[in-house]
Amino acid sequence: MKRAVFLDRDGVIIEAVIHNGKPYPPASVSDARITEGFYTVLQKISAAGFIIIGITNQPDVARGLQSQKAVEEINQYLVNVLPIETIFVCFHDDKDACSCRKPKPGLIYEAAAVFDIDLANSYMVGDRWKDIEAGKNAGCKTVFVDYGYAEKQPKGYDFSIQKPAAIADIILASEVENGVSG
């Protein structure tokens, strides 16, 4: 089985758009800003033997505020320019009660089935409580990118960092500490 690093899209792979202390997705590819230094971060993770997969909730599609095409264009751009295998997307809103919307682990389970991933030796990285809960619910180790958003904060994560640029360092140090190698 393979190991993976699952990354939330908005706020981890790309910068979230912040309004009143809360994060929102960019509207288009031209608005998407890859997090500073992230290509190097992903290269380090990939070199350590991890598959890199995006996991994202995009409820603005269900809410009629964003087109599915715009979301898919952003995702395709990211897969084209970064060493990311693919991005799994939930287009539903909470009221849809689907199994794929974080904090439920459906997208992580789907990715694990497609890529034969050992979830117990994988990581979920996110900047919101739903990302961390999804990772915990799937049995992954979790890394919380703490931007201090004005919203519910996660609990029970394994690691906390202030900037996505620290993701590779925290994961690789954890792997060394636990005697795991690619």
Residues labelled as active-site residues:
8, 10
In 3-state terms, what secondary structure has residue 55?
A: strand
pLDDT per position as a tens digit, 10-31: 999 999 999 999 999 999 999 9
Domains observed in the chain: 3-116+129-177 (3.40.50.1000)
Confidence of residue 174 (pLDDT cuts 50, 70, 90): confident
What average pLDDT does the segment 162-170 reach? 93
Which long-range contacts link 92-100 to residues 24+ away (Cβ below 8 Å)? 92/59, 92/62, 93/59, 93/62, 93/63, 94/59, 96/62
Q: What is the pTM of this model?
A: 0.95
The DSSP H or E segment spanning 24 is strand 22-24
pLDDT per position as a tens digit, 84-124: 999 999 999 999 999 999 999 999 999 999 999 999 999 99
Mean pLDDT rounded to a whole number for the chain: 95
